[in-house]
Amino acid sequence: MASFSVIADVSVTLQRLLDATLTPLGVSALLHDLSKQVPTNPPVLTVFLYEVSEDVASRNRPDTRRLVGPNAIEFERAPMALLLKYLITPWSGDAATDHRILGRAMQELYDNALLEGVQLQGSLANTNDTLKITITPLSMDERTKVWYAVQRTYRLSSAYEVRVVNLDSNRRETHPPVREYHRQTGTLVQEVSR
């Protein structure tokens, strides 16, 4: 069950995946909002969540129904399907080192384009959820807007999308089952016996 912490859990999953591959190179992966100075000694790779939106390809999934007793059916709203967008940025103070850090991070995200099971953190750990990581082409104008929004000068970076992140609904309703129905001139009328 993916609770309200699912967004943070996905971010931590990415950060730990990247940190594990970069630590042997003397680089740390950090979750960062880019609002403060980023240290460059030792070098770091920032994981910046810059947008959360609904994944339109997964919208309008049906609610689930479950029999919870002889006289009750529980209706559970389908989870909201989220699309998370990240900016991955190396910070070392040296352009060639930045290129190597970004290259290694991109290699790791490519090799682990599908994350599941024990790779996931928090409420996602050991669930049936699978996260798909894809590189996202951003135009120079789109990249500039992201950097302008955080009031920073443009830096070498790569954008990624993570989907489908399921945010479970808290809305559940229990109703008695329909015992009879009557059809009248093409209109469905339900009578519920209680």
Q: Indicate which CATH number applies to the domain containing 140.
A: 3.30.2000.10
* In-domain check, residue 14: yes
The helix (run of H) or strand (run of E) holding residue 162 is strand 158-167
Kindly report which listed range (52-56, 75-79, 138-142, 159-163) carries the lowest average pLDDT score: 75-79
Coil, strand, or helix at residue 146? helix
* pLDDT digit string, tens, across residues 155-169: 999 999 999 777 776
**Residue 148 maps to a domain:** yes
Enclosing domain of residue 184 = 6-191
pLDDT at residue number 172: 66
The distance between the two most distant Cα atoms of the chain, rounded to a whole number of Å, is 77
pLDDT class for 128, splitting at 50, 70, 90? confident
Percentage of residues of the chain with pLDDT beyond 90: 45
Asked whether residue 1 is domain-assigned, the answer is: no
Q: Of all residues in the chain, what percent carry a pLDDT higher than 70?
A: 84
Sign for the pseudo-dihedral over CA of 103, 104, 107, 112: negative
Instruction: Give the pLDDT band (50/70/90) at residue 90.
Output: very high
Residue 1 has pLDDT above 60, yes or no: no
Mean of per-residue pLDDT scores for the chain: 85
C-alpha of 140 from chain center: 24
Provide CB contacts within 8 A for 104, sequence distance 6+: 21, 22, 25
Residue 118 lies in a domain: yes
pLDDT band at 115 (very low <50, low <70, confident <90, very high): very high
Contacts of 115 (CB under 8 A, 6+ apart): 13, 17, 130, 131, 133
Provide the whole-model pTM. 0.79
| DSSP for residue 144 | H
Residue 127: the pLDDT is 84
pLDDT for position 100 = 96
Provide the domain count of the chain: 1
pLDDT tens per residue, range 57-71: 767 766 676 677 777
**Given this model, what pLDDT does residue 2 score?**
62
The answer to whether 80 touches 169, Cβ cutoff 8 Å, is: yes
More confident residue, 69 or 22: 22
Give the C-alpha separation, 158 to 79, whole Å.
Answer: 29
Q: Is residue 168 part of a domain?
A: yes
